[in-house]
Amino acid sequence: MNKTLLEVKNLKLYFRTSKGPVQAVDDVSFKLNRGKTLAVVGESGCGKTSLAKAVLRLLPRNIMVYSGEIILDGEDIMQYNEEQFRRDIRWKKIAMVPQAAMNSLNPVLRIVDQIIEPLLIHDRDMIKDKALARVKEMFKIVGLPEDFLYRYPFELSGGMRQRATIAMALATNPELVILDEPSSALDLLTQANLMNVLKRIKHDFGTTFILITHDIGTASELADEIAVMYAGEMVEKCHAEYFYTDARHPYSRKLMSSVPTLREDKELVFIPGQPPSLVNPPIGCRFAERCEQRFAKCSEHPPTFDLEHDQQVQCWLYTAGEEVKHA
Amino acid sequence: MPDLAVEMQETLQEEERVPVLKAVNLHTWFEIRKFGFFKAGDVRALDGVDFELYQGETVSIVGESGCGKSTLARTILGLHRPTKGKLFFNGKDMAEFKKEDMKAYRASVGYIQQDPYGALPPFMTVKRILEEPLIINGVKDKFERQKRIRNVMEEVKLAPIEDFLPKFPHMLSGGQQQRLVIARAMILQPKMLVADEPVSMLDASVRVEILQLLRSLQEKHNLVIIYITHDLSTVRYFSERIFTMYGARIVEKATTKALLSDPLHPYTQALFKATSDPDAANLKAYKEVPAGEPPSLLNPPKGCRFYPRCAKIIKGKCDHFEPPEFHIGDDQSVFCWLYEDQGKQ
């Protein structure tokens, strides 16, 4: 078995709009090892969800550019045609829990009919009883009572519905699960409960997750690695243990210092200004306009520099592999 | 003569001690009807809340959804009439307010909504949004209105002012929209602001900016701010006091400092443990979460509202008798039987 489960190379996703192409995902590359969790963090509109949708090829009609390589288990799934992708990848190898998943259940179908569907569609030999047994098993794992299967979505609370959608994503035993803001619409205690469930799944089954969130606090519950996105680009990626204390990119640092903490009293700072428009982003570094450490070189587009601890940063400050102080 | 000065000083102090807002045994219940006619019961959204707020105080109300914190806000704003209990504003009973009194009261209480885009009328320009409260409250002079709009926009840092005046809400970013909502709440120079989750829809970096803005307005105008939130971690940066609510009641009142160093009520402790700070150590441990769900407010449990989920339950006591308020030290009070011996009632 390959140690690397997913490798994304130079992934681009541009949308066509009346104002011009929107560069939602621009030249993003990363690797994700089996059984690990990558948290993608960033402000709203930075392309986190577009990245997830690009990986799963859930695209709207107004696509202008969709290119790059997505290598899953050694195979470039970008080469697959639509039918092949639907049959072999979507929900079979990669599943997704969409944003506000609790509202994504069909209100007029019982939970069981919805959850069982991917199992029956993706496996022709699957008989209904076997599928039902599998779904019941999934319900036990996410911590829902079995009889809830026969209820309608409105009879469940938000946290329970969220867990049902997670059960649905896991039912086909996919290798990679993309979670898009799984906990942001939930209450604090429900959220903590859900993170416990996800953590248990991760430990017991070795499922690989991509966790998309803007809440770095909750991300730290699950993430082995953190990727920071800004204006469609991945500006930094590193191991979680280094990120919280030793983020490198000026944007990541600002982002970390804007996170309020409960246990530690620190001065909060905010990032003045706004992210650039993705229709006509700056040619150079996209963060330069808001960056306190910018210098002449920032008007050119920075490449990705590899630093120690397997840390990757897209910033000119690290040209020599070490942070350079510019006056 | 000096006697008079002393007397005046005393009356002044006396006046200062009158709370801006005082709630006594406040209840807000919503009736449920069957077939639109038969009474089927009451949803006790707010069930016996007492507190006093003084000039210049900021207080955070923390709790999960459905605990009654928004109902409390709306009752304070006069949008719901309390079913039982009384609400006093500057010592005057709000139940006896006449129409003009209510109008004056509404002018002196600003409301900051959770979702800025939903709170702003989409077909009105910034200028019109800010001008309307002034027109309604009888500021007839056009130049006076313009001056006040400019002042308030400067205060919330919506600059350059000329650029913003003709814009519609959809042309503004989330942070700017929330500033506009704050400007609208501030334009009548209120004494009190009720902020219902003002930053929960915003990005982390903007969140801090808005909280700091509210804080600076509070200091400058010596406002009372009631900050309603479900996020314990922002509370430290904002308020002096915290009320924790659970099941339509306040379960703990404390100064922020006391609460953050030592939460007393088992529910507050649970909230505390469930909040994650960015830390790599989180990866290795599971969280302690009390089992179950918040109680139904249609038929709340007898005794303490939290007992069905509480790990420290005293059998025979918590499930039968409602806990009274126990004061622990000067800064903290808790509604929990565990503190019966330590605190004074």
Contact A188 B275 (CB under 8 A): yes
Residue A10 contacts B, CB cutoff 8 Å: no
Which residues in chain B have their CB less than 8 angstroms from residue A195's CB? 276, 287
Q: Which domain holds residue B249?
A: 16-264
Q: Min CA distance, A161 vs chain B (Å)?
A: 14
CA distance A225 to A242: 9
Provide the pLDDT confidence category of residue B13 given band limits of 50, 70 and 90: low
A200 in contact with B, Cβ within 8 Å? yes
The minimal CB distance from B205 to the residues A221, A241, A255 is found for A255
Whether pLDDT at A172 is above 80: yes
Closest Cα in chain B to A159: B293
Number of folded domains that form chain B = 1
Q: Residue B280: its pLDDT value, please?
A: 84
Which chain A residues are Cβ-neighbours of B208 within 8 angstroms?
A: 258, 260, 268-270
Place of tokens 């209120």: B190
pLDDT of B296 strictly over 80: yes
Q: Best of B282, B284, B293, B306 to disrupt the A interface by mutation (most A CBs within 10 Å)?
A: B282
Is the CB of A258 less than 8 angstroms away from the CB of B273?
A: no
Position B4 scores a pLDDT of 55
d(CA B290, CA B155): 44
B165 pLDDT higher than 90: yes
For B232, the closest of A218, A223, A262 (CB atoms) is: A262
Using pLDDT thresholds of 50, 70 and 90, give the confidence band for residue A108.
Answer: very high
Tell me the shortest Cα–Cα distance from B250 to chain A, in angstroms. Answer: 18
- pLDDT tens track for B22-57: 999 999 998 888 877 788 888 888 888 999 999 889
Average pLDDT (A192-203) is 90
Average confidence score pLDDT of chain A: 88
What pLDDT is attached to residue B190? 93
Give the number of C-alpha atoms closer than 13 A to the C-alpha of residue B301, restricted to the C-beta side.
Answer: 20
Average pLDDT, chain B: 87
Residue B298: inside a domain: no
> Is there a contact between B283 and A196 if contact means CB atoms under 8 Å apart?
no
Mean pLDDT of A253-268: 86
Where residue B15 falls among pLDDT bands split at 50, 70, 90?
low
pLDDT at residue B128 greater than cutoff 90: yes
Whether residue B251 lies inside any domain: the answer is yes
Strand stretches in A18-143, DSSP E: 20-33, 37-41, 63-72, 75-76, 94-97
Q: Distance from A80 to chain B by nearest Cα, in Å?
A: 36
How much of chain A exceeds pLDDT 90, in percent? 32
* Nearest beta carbon to residue B208 from set A43, A191, A258: A258
Task: Say what the pLDDT of residue B241 is.
Answer: 92
pLDDT at B14 over 80: no
Q: Which of B297, B334, B305, B252 is nearest to B60 (CA)?
A: B252
Nearest CA in chain B to A43: B203
Looking at domain A4-93+174-318, its CATH superfamily turns out to be: P-loop containing nucleotide triphosphate hydrolases (3.40.50.300)
At residue A229, does pLDDT exceed 60? yes
Which site among B62, B203, B242 would you substitute to test the A interface, given the most A Cβ atoms closer than 10 Å to its Cβ? B203
Domain range list for chain A = 4-93+174-318, 101-173
Identify whether the C-beta of residue B252 lies closer than 8 Å to the C-beta of residue B333. Answer: yes
Does residue B344 belong to any structural domain of this protein?
no
**A199 to chain B: which residues are within 8 Å by CB?**
286
A266 reaches B (C-beta below 8 A): no
- Residue A325: pLDDT band with limits 50, 70, 90: low
User: How large is the ipTM?
Assistant: 0.82
Q: Cβ contacts (< 8 Å) between A157 and chain B: which residues?
A: 293
| Residue B336 belongs to some domain of the structure | no
Domain-located, residue B183 = yes
Confidence of residue B11 (pLDDT cuts 50, 70, 90): low
N residues, chain B: 345
The 10s digit of each residue's pLDDT in B242-280 is 999 998 899 999 999 889 888 999 999 999 888 888 888
| pLDDT winner (highest mean) among A9-13, A58-62, B45-49, B315-319 | A9-13
Greater model confidence, A28 or A159 = A28
Cβ <8 Å between B271 and A263 = no
Name the residue in chain B with its Cα closest to that of A189.
B274
What residues of chain B lie within 8 A of the CB of A265, using their CB? 236
A189–B237: do the CB atoms touch at under 8 Å? no
Chain A residue with Cα closest to B210: A270
Rounded to an integer, the average pLDDT of B288-294 is 83
How far apart are the CA of A222 and the nearest CA of chain B, in angstroms?
Answer: 6
What pLDDT does A171 receive? 87
Average pLDDT over residues B129-155: 92
Q: Is A185 on the interface with B (CB under 8 A)?
A: no
Q: Is the pLDDT at B10 greater than 60, yes or no?
A: no
CA distance A126 to chain B (A): 35
pTM attached to this predicted model: 0.86
Q: Is residue B7 part of a domain?
A: no
User: Looking at CA atoms only, how far is residue B143 from chain A in angstroms?
Assistant: 32
Mean pLDDT check: name the lowest of A13-17, B106-110, B288-292: B288-292
Give pLDDT, residue B3: 56
Distance CA A301, CA A279 (A): 17
pLDDT of residue A122: 82
Percent of chain B clearing pLDDT 90 (strictly above):
41
The long-range contacts involving B285-288, CB below 8 angstroms and separated by at least 24 positions, are B286/A196, B286/A199, B286/A200, B287/A192, B287/A193, B287/A195, B287/A196, B287/A221
- B247 neighbors B71 (Cβ within 8 angstroms): no
pLDDT recorded at residue B205? 78
**What pLDDT does residue B127 have?**
93
Instruction: Find the mean pLDDT for residues A276-283.
Output: 87
Q: What is the CATH number of the domain that holds B80?
A: 3.40.50.300
| pLDDT bracket for residue B8 (50, 70, 90) | low
Please tell me the predicted confidence (pLDDT) of residue B6: 57
Lowest mean pLDDT among A52-56, A131-135, B9-13: B9-13
Q: Is residue B228 part of a domain?
A: yes
Identify the closest residue of chain B to A44 by CA–CA distance.
B203
Dihedral, CA of residue A153, residue A157, residue A161 and residue A164, to nearest 10: -100
User: Is pLDDT of A185 > 80?
Assistant: no
CB contact under 8 A, B271 and A220: no
Mean pLDDT across the stretch A165-182? Answer: 89
